């Protein structure tokens, strides 16, 4: 499955139609959520009065088919105009609620990993992102490759050519499964989810191993010695954002307490600020895609670290710079692009001391302060940039994982304590070619904190 996203060039009439579909999706979501909350509150109140479980108000299903049946029974009363929009609009809202309830239930019962997920909340017309998803009906790319056709919305013009997707469709190597129209900032986007018959590829250098150490001063330092500059798009646009933010604060904005609607000048100022934020996001996304594509196409094995990005963002001095760099996005893109190009991605354990280990002799330092940008080994006398040293250790970890043997290895994850002698787990991302293995590391001691060691 692969997504192709294109910017739309909508006329005022088409934009109103898309807003209507997005509003229908939000209406179905809020109606179903209100129904679910009412039943839950009623059952909780009945339990507080001592009503036995068999006499409680009947529960309603949270699955998409159950919510859809309830909506079809009530849509003539709730939305008498439902025939004016596609049925996929209401299905979009009901599907979003079904997934949100499933995530909340799984998080509450412990079946869902990750951060706790709260109970779904109602969507606001002004704060929610307008979006609608089409899974059935006429969904195609026009022969001129500058227009797409969607159910009930008709023929929509694109800002750019859809030739990459059209070539696959014409060759029969792709099939459109769904199309999602979404407003990203101040521009409408259409994203096609496509089932692709991808041919097998091989990297330009299949035997090449590269370690990638991400940071703030340099976006990435490769084990080959290459330094990837950090463009710092957010820092470059902050002055303009401050100017637009001050101008926006002087306008008459919305007030939910009094029901005041925003003025037209406030809407225009908000759109200008949104365009700046969207430009920063697009520039960051473009740079990360170019970097990860080059690494995946050139090297057969790419090694990165399993960084605790959520923990790193708690550092108030570095949070903005870490978020601007996009550490997690680099790893996410490398995970699937390595599989697309016939390579593999190895992820070093979170507590692997790549910055504290000497790439020359393997000695491990007990402590390494953040301000020490040069790594000086007290055993062999090696003096090297700390980020380049970490990248070399990551590349060596891939060689250790390859030579660990073809049979099963007793792998275990490292913890915050570095041991005298031990093994560091190497995690395999989906789509890689080899099974999980572990690599033996040199003697170690002391503690390490990868959440801050790689911050600079």
Catalytic residue among 213, 324, 349, 429: 213
171 and 87 in a common domain = no
Active site annotation includes 197: no
Which DSSP category does 357 fall into?
B
- Is the same domain home to 301 and 419? yes
Strand order in the sheet with 131-134: 131-134, 174-184, 187-196, 2-9, 154-158, 147-150, 140-141
Q: Note whether 284 and 404 are same-domain residues.
A: yes
**Same domain? 232 vs 362:** yes
In the chain, how many domains are there? 3
Low-confidence spans in the chain with pLDDT less than 70: 402-456
Assess whether 140 and 215 both reside in one domain: no
Angle CA(212)–CA(214)–CA(219) in degrees, nearest 5?
110
Q: Which pLDDT value is given to residue 402? A: 64
Task: Dig out the tokens for 433 from the structure.
Answer: 């070619």
One domain, residues 98 and 146: no
pLDDT of 397: 85
Is residue 387 annotated as a catalytic residue, yes or no? yes
> Given CA atoms 428, 434, 435, 440 in this order, what sign does their dihedral have?
negative
Asked if 200 is an active-site residue, the reply is: no
What per-residue confidence (pLDDT) applies to 380? 87
Answer whether residue 361 is part of any domain.
Answer: yes
pLDDT of residue 433: 40
pLDDT, position 259: 86
Q: Is 375 exposed, middle or buried (0-12, 13-18, 19+ CB in 10 A)?
A: buried
Same domain, 181 and 315: no
Among candidate residues 95, 305, 349, 429, the one labeled active-site is 305
Q: Would you say residue 62 lies in a domain?
A: yes
Flag whether the pTM goes above 0.85: no
Marked catalytic residue, from 95, 349, 387, 429: 387
**Domain identity same for 35 and 66:** yes
DSSP string, 282-319: HHHHHHHHHHHHHHHHHEEEEEEE---HHHHTT-TTTH
Distance separating alpha carbons of residues 220 and 200, to the nearest angstrom = 28
Q: What is the reported pLDDT for 419?
A: 41
151 in the same domain as 88: no
Range of the domain at 177: 2-9+130-196
């Amino acid at each position: 499955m692969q997504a192709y996203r294109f910017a739309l060039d909508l006329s005022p009439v088409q934009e109103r139609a898309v807003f209507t579909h997005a509003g229908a999706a939000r209406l179905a979501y809020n109606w179903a959520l209100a129904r679910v909350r009412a039943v839950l509150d009623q059952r909780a109140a009945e339990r507080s009065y001592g009503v036995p479980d068999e006499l409680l108000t009947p529960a309603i299903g949270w699955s998409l088919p159950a919510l859809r049946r309830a909506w079809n029974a009530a849509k003539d009363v709730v939305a008498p105009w439902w025939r004016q929009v596609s049925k996929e609009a209401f299905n979009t809202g009901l599907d979003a609620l079904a997934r949100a309830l499933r995530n909340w239930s799984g998080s509450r019962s412990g079946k869902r990993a990750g951060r706790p997920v709260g109970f779904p909340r109602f969507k606001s017309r002004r704060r929610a992102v307008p979006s609608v998803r089409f899974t059935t009906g006429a969904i195609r790319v026009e022969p001129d490759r500058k227009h797409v056709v969607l159910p009930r919305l008709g023929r929509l013009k694109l800002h750019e050519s859809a030739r990459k997707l059209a070539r696959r469709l014409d060759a029969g190597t792709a099939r459109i499964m769904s199309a999602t129209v979404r407003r990203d900032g101040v521009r409408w986007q259409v994203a096609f989810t496509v089932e692709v018959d991808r041919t097998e590829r091989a990297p330009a250098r299949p035997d090449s191993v590269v370690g990638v150490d991400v940071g703030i001063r340099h976006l990435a330092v490769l084990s080959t010695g290459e330094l990837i500059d950090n463009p710092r798009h957010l820092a470059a646009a902050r002055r303009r954002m401050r100017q637009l933010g001050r101008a926006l604060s002087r306008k008459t904005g919305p007030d939910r307490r009094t029901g005041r609607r925003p003025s037209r000048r406030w809407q225009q100022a908000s759109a200008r600020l949104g365009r700046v934020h969207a430009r920063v996001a697009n520039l960051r996304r473009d740079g990360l895609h170019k970097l990860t594509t080059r690494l995946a196409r050139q090297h057969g094995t790419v090694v990165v670290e399993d960084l605790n990005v959520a923990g790193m963002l708690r550092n108030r001095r570095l949070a903005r710079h870490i978020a601007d760099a996009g550490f997690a996005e680099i790893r996410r893109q490398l995970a699937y692009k390595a599989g697309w190009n016939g390579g593999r991605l190895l992820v070093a354990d979170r507590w692997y001391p790549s910055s504290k280990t000497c790439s020359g002799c393997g000695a491990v330092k007990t402590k390494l302060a953040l301000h020490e940008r040069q790594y000086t080994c007290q055993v062999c006398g090696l003096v090297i940039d700390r980020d380049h040293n970490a990248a070399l250790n990551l590349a060596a970890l891939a060689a250790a994982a390859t030579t660990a043997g073809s049979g099963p290895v007793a792998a275990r994850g490292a913890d915050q304590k570095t041991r005298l002698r031990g093994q560091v787990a190497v995690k395999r991302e989906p789509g890689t070619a080899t099974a999980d293995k572990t690599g033996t590391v040199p003697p170690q001691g002391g503690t390490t904190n990868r959440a801050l060691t790689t911050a600079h």
